[in-house]
């Protein structure tokens, strides 16, 4: 299958048409959107399209399937669009990990030590991917490389603390540990705008 020329970011209208073809288009309120999707709807529609793609990939390209033909073909198709250059590939990988961390904090119990461990592990990985990208960049990225490694180390320490606490809690009735979590939890919850999160890839 030949690679199509890369175009600019998709518009809201184009995304909505694609989702409609996939049977996943959200229904807009005709009073608020009498002329269809608007530019400000683009991130929402991208999220729906991303969810649709991941749901289908879980079925068509299950990593646990053997032989892993579906996963191999999926990665081949992915690379056909983004290319094999290290910078964009690693940047997208880091952004994907950051979105995963935000999903964990958004949907899981903030006092759950296992969720905290998962969040820390994901953010440590995101910073290490950033460090890998900066390490392959010109020397003027040395400051960014150092900052990414420092952040990865901090998240790794948080990960060790959360895993230790989770192992200590394992096997105990959950009602007995609920009150302890707030006391033992590392201070300060993370958000996408705090300095504890990875530097936004450039």
pLDDT tens for 140-155 read 889 999 999 999 999 9
Highest mean pLDDT among 17-26, 85-94, 136-145, 165-174: 17-26
Residue 83: pLDDT above 90? no
Query: Are 117 and 163 a contacting pair, CB within 8 Å?
Result: yes
pLDDT of 138? 83
pLDDT of 164? 95
Please tell me the least confidently modeled range out of 21-25, 68-72, 119-123. 68-72
Helices (H) and strands (E) in the chain, counts: 7, 0
Alpha carbon separation from 139 to 23, 37, 133, 143, 145 (Å, rounded): 48, 44, 12, 9, 10
Band (1; pLDDT cuts 50, 70, 90): low
pTM: 0.76
| Interatomic CA distance for residues 202 and 199, integer angstroms | 9
pLDDT of 191? 41
Domain residue ranges of the chain, discontinuous segments joined by +:
12-84, 86-202
pLDDT tens for 113-122 read 999 999 999 9
pLDDT of 197? 45
Please tell me the least confidently modeled range out of 3-12, 19-28, 93-102, 110-119. 3-12
Band (2; pLDDT cuts 50, 70, 90): low
Please, what is the Cα angle at 107 between 170 and 9, to 5 degrees? 135
Task: Spell out the residues 6+ positions from residue 70 whose beta carbon is closer than 8 angstroms to its own.
Answer: 60, 61, 62
| Interatomic CA distance for residues 197 and 120, integer angstroms | 10
């Amino acid at each position: 299958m030949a690679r199509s020329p890369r175009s600019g970011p998709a518009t809201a209208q184009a995304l909505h048409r694609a989702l409609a073809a996939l049977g996943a288009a959200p229904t807009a309120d005709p009073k608020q959107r009498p002329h269809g999707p608007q530019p400000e709807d683009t991130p929402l529609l991208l999220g729906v399209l991303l969810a649709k793609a991941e749901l289908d990939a879980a079925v068509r390209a299950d990593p646990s399937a053997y032989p892993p033909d579906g996963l191999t073909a999926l990665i081949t198709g992915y690379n056909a669009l983004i290319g094999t250059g290290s910078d964009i590939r690693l940047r997208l990988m880091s952004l994907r990990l950051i979105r995963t961390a935000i999903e964990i904090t958004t949907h899981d119990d903030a006092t759950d030590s296992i969720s905290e461990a998962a969040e820390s592990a994901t953010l440590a990985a995101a910073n290490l991917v950033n460090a890998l990208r900066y390490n392959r960049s010109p020397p003027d990225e040395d400051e960014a490389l150092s900052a990414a490694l420092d952040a990865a180390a901090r998240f790794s320490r948080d990960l060790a603390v959360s895993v230790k606490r989770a192992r200590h809690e394992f096997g105990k009735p959950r009602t007995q540990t609920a009150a302890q979590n707030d006391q033992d939890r590392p201070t300060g919850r993370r958000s996408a705008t705090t300095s504890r999160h990875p530097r936004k890839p450039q």
